[in-house]
Amino acid sequence: MRQHLFGRTPRLTLYFCGLAVGLSLLVAGVAAARLSVGGGAPGVGWPAVAVGTAGGLVLAFVAGYLNGGLLASWACGLVPTAGRLGVPLAEGTWLDVAVTLVGSAGYGVLLGAAGFVVAVEKHRRDARTADLPAPPSRTAVVGLTALSGVLGAILVGFGAVL
């Protein structure tokens, strides 16, 4: 279970997590700057959410496929959800930023878990024809997905309640 949480190489997991944190900060800063400078363009919201979600799913898939680590997939799932921090960063208090960050982390965990599951199934299919390390068992994937669901729901719940 530890290998599936931290990946085949923990150093690569740290690289993915660092890259994801940097990209998340960039996304949050761009969202705040867009709101501060331009006030936000009307009609851009939902398409931006769709593109961001797809991008986060792809990032989480890549992290899960290359490293096999759920933690890196969670971090990469946080990248598009960091855009939610734009409004509190531009107009809110530090408490608003913290509360939004907790909720965003919950959504990131859920999005990252979805990318991880897709990556494991792709890895399982590719392992039949190539010399790859053994993918996690389906029982382990169900357990990790349940862990992700519980953690994500708790974070989203705290973000909603606070």
Residue 74 is predicted with a pLDDT of 96
Confidence of residue 21 (pLDDT cuts 50, 70, 90): very high
pTM, 2 dp: 0.91
Q: Identity (one letter) of the amino acid at 49?
A: V
Q: Where are the domains of the chain?
A: 10-159
Residue 81 is predicted with a pLDDT of 92
Q: H/E/C letters for each residue in the chain?
A: CHHHHHCCCHHHHHHHHHHHHHHHHHHHHHHHHHHHHHCCCCCCHHHHHHHHHHHHHHHHHHHHHHHCCHHHHHHHHHHHHHHHHHHHHHHCCHHHHHHHHHHHHHHHHHHHHHHHHHHHHHHHHHHCCCCCCCCCCHHHHHHHHHHHHHHHHHHHHHHHHC
Over residues 86-127, the pLDDT tens digits come to 889 988 899 999 999 999 999 999 999 999 999 999 999 999
Over residues 40-83, the pLDDT tens digits come to 665 566 677 788 889 899 999 999 999 999 999 999 999 999 98
Residue 17 is predicted with a pLDDT of 95
